[in-house]
Amino acid sequence: MAYDFLGLTNEICGRLNETKLTSSNFSSAVNFYASIKDSINAAIKDVNHQEYNYPFNHNTAEIILEAGVARYALPQDAKTVDLNTIRIVRDQALDVATIILGQIQYNEYIRRYLDDETNSNTSGNVPTFVAKSRTNELALAPKPDKAYKLQLEYFVVPADLSSSEDVPSIPESFKHVIIDGAMYHCYMFRDNAQSATLAKQKFDEGLKAMRSLLVNEYINILDTRVERSSSTVSLRVS
């Protein structure tokens, strides 16, 4: 069975002894079939709400800066942005090397660079610092003097599945997690509390495994202690 919205829906239909859909009647499905489709999207949302940094939701964006403009909107689909990854991209034509921007607090930006941002008489320079404003904009300091290319890494908010061919961003190896989550929502819709509880337990176990495999990081720590050999000191008393 294909790993797409139609395939997931029909797998749920098979488990619930419902007639399976086709690509021709998928978009017009109503009643309980519509609930099955909603349950799949709900399960995918549940997965993505558990963690902000699943690797399959990672994305990179580029912003072309404008001379004299200090603030730039984040990508509309951005859930979280890693400010430590924001950099100016090397460009020989603009005579600039790759620069990783230092992160500063927005209050510090206001205190040190707001006047420069609003002063039209200052020409700007290559940005070296970045702060995230209260409105989730990126504020650069100093403001750019050329059309540098800014690159950033972030984690997206996945869009709901809609058409029958839509494929989840979640890898197919974790399809069973989506299915268990969707079954939980379907059983809740049918007021089958016992089956819903069992499905929820399987779903939670699948989420735990996903976090362990995809998110948890174990950093090795080097022991720098020097082991000293014991020695016996003899004192001669004259």
Domain residue ranges in the chain:
5-54+170-214, 57-155
- pLDDT value of position 122: 84
Is pLDDT above 70 for 228?
no
pTM of the predicted protein model: 0.76
Model pLDDT for residues 95-147, shown as the tens digit of each residue: 999 999 999 999 999 999 999 999 988 888 999 999 999 998 999 999 999 99
- Average pLDDT of every residue of the chain: 89
Q: What mean pLDDT is predicted for residues 50-75? A: 92
- pLDDT value of position 215: 79
- pLDDT value of position 157: 86
- pLDDT value of position 238: 47
Spatial separation of the C-alpha atoms in residues 86 and 63, rounded to whole Å: 11
Segments of the chain assigned E as strands: 58-64, 71-73, 78-81, 87-88, 99-100, 102-103, 129-132, 137-141, 149-156
Pairing of strands 102-103, 129-132: parallel
Is pLDDT above 70 for 226?
no
Q: What mean pLDDT is predicted for residues 16-35? A: 92
Structure tokens at 144: 């750019």
Contact, 183 vs 12, CB < 8 A?
yes
- pLDDT value of position 212: 87
- pLDDT value of position 220: 52
- pLDDT value of position 133: 92
Spatial separation of the C-alpha atoms in residues 92 and 117, rounded to whole Å: 26
**With the C-alpha atoms ordered 133, 53, 3, 203, is the resulting torsion angle positive or negative?**
negative
